[in-house]
Structure 1
Amino acid sequence: MSTTGGVNTARQLIRASDDVPVDTPRIPAREAAERELSKLMYHENDPSLLQRALDRFWDWLGGLFDAASGAAPGGPLGLFVVVLVVIALIGALWWRLGTPRRFPGSADSLFDDGPRSASEHRTAAEAHADAGRWNQAVQERMRAIVRSLEERALLDPRPGRTADEAAAEGGRSLPDHIDGLRAAAREFDDVTYGGRTADRQAYLRLRDLDLELERAKPQLTGAAQGAAE
């Protein structure tokens, strides 16, 4: 091959190499692509963060039920029967026990409005009873009992006192009626916090207890007996 031919061939190769793109390293190329794809124009139709979270939750819940249905005898039908049995048990317990009662010392104050006399509470209780509103009648009669004990100085007036506390404290001065006071407090708590429904007999029990307590003579404590002597 002549020198002139070799030079021409080399020149042609150089011109051809000018048209070949230069390879970009992999990491810078990936970073450039990420920067490009992060632009807002590519994400205008993306679901919101809340929608993505909901989608993941439903996917997780669906997977959970799928796994449970595969493990339950009878497949999905067996799982459905198990769920029905659990719901029935919960309903039976709720109906039998009611909402869990709140215990003494909590914020379940016996009086939820301004101060009223025992007579005013009795009048309100009778009005509710005449209208067949037994829950409200029971509540007002229990308030009348406690207010009457306060008016007779058998209980110290104290804001925030619960029905159970009033029954326990009142029973110290009227020990013969401690059982009746505790039963009245339970009745009050059941209709006020336990979701129970009172009836006429429940109200009459509290009314009779109220009348008995009005006639009952308190038992003096040791300190009171010494002062009386």
Structure 2
Amino acid sequence: MIAPVAVPLEPDGDQGRQWLTDELSKQVYQAAKPTPFDLAAQAISDWFNSLLRSAGQAQGAIGLVLVVILITGIIVAAFFIFGRPRLSRRSGVAAELFGEDDARGSAELRRSAEQAAAAGDFTLALEELYRAIARGLAERTIVEVSPGTTARGFARRAGIAFPAEAARLASSAEDFDDVRYLGRTGTREQYERLLDLDRTLSTARPSALEAAR
């Protein structure tokens, strides 16, 4: 007959730790462990609770913190929902115009052209008015005028958007190049033709926007 083996009722320290490790490694205990999300949620909850507990001492400061947090959350949510806000049309217009840094808007360029014409300087008036036409169509997002665009290149693009005015646009681009680069003197007749073109384009409806890009 085999004598029964006595099982110790009180294990020593090493054996007790091993039994505890083996027990905690079972699936039922592992499934009950908090997830990283649970830990993060608990940390946030503890932080808000700590703020609320100190409300009696610093209600104003806590209220300000909560308002800032709320506003920040709204801004972040709006950013993800609606995306990055679009820049204004004016901010998307290139500062360079026909090889020169010129951040003036079309209205300012037209005023400069009018002043030059009133003073009898039709060379400057012609240059400024042609720039005003180009800047105006860029501001209306009809014709893109990017850095490196020439006067004739702009005329070709604008002629696609306004086919009925393609010939006059090409002629005005030649006049601009003549006075700007060839040193020729602008005339009243050239300025008045360009002024009439500007008035026409200001009210005309483009027929082919995509092709002018």
1:122–1:141: 8 Å Cα contact kept in structure 2?
Answer: yes
Q: Quick check: which has more Rg, 1 or 2? A: 1
> Which residue of the partner structure matches residue 180 of structure 1?
168
Q: 1:186 to 1:130 in 2, by over 3 A?
A: same
Q: Supply the distance in 1 between the matched residues of 2:116 and 2:200 (Cα, whole angstroms).
A: 21
Distance 2:195 2:99 in 1: 18
- Residue in 2 aligned with 1:131? 119
TM-score for the superposition, normalised by structure 1: 0.48
- Using the alignment, how far apart are the partners of 2:150 and 2:208 within structure 1? 24
Matched, 1:154 2:146: no
State the shift of 1:211 in Å.
Answer: 0.4
Unaligned runs of 5+ in 1: 1-108, 224-229
What is the identity percentage for the equivalent residue pairs of Structure 1 and Structure 2?
Answer: 40
Secondary structure in 1 aligned to 2:149? coil
CA distance in 2, matches of 1:118, 1:190: 22
Following TM superposition, the consecutive aligned residue runs of length 4 or more in structure 1 with deviations greater than 2 angstroms are 220-223
Q: Partner of 1:156: helix, strand, or coil?
A: coil
Measure the CA separation in 1 of the matches of 2:135 and 2:181: 20
Range with bigger deviation, 152-161 or 203-212:
152-161
- 1:218 partnered with 2:178: no
Aligned counterparts of 1:184 and 1:116: Cα–Cα separation in 2? 21
Taking the aligned partners of 1:206 and 1:222, their CA distance within structure 2 comes to: 25
* SS across alignment from 1:153: coil
Deviations 1:1-45 (A, max 9, x none): xxxxxxxxxxxxxxxxxxxxxxxxxxxxxxxxxxxxxxxxxxxxx
Asked if the contact 1:138/1:188 (under 8 Å) is kept, the reply is yes
Question: Which runs of 5 or more structure 2 residues have no equivalent in the other structure?
Answer: 1-96
2: CA distance, partners of 1:220 / 1:139: 26
Deviation at 1:162, TM superposition (A): 0.8
3-state SS, counterpart of residue 198 of structure 1: coil
Give the alignment of 1:1-229 within 5 angstroms.
Answer: 110=98, 112-220=100-208
The residue identity in structure 2 corresponding to 1:175 is P
For residues 169-188 of structure 1, the C-alpha deviation after alignment (integer angstroms, 9 at most, x for no partner) is 11111111001110110000
Aligned mates of 1:144, 1:112 — CA distance in 2: 14
TM-score (norm. length: structure 2):
0.51
Contact 1:111 1:143 in 2 (8 A): no
Q: CA RMSD in A?
A: 1.9
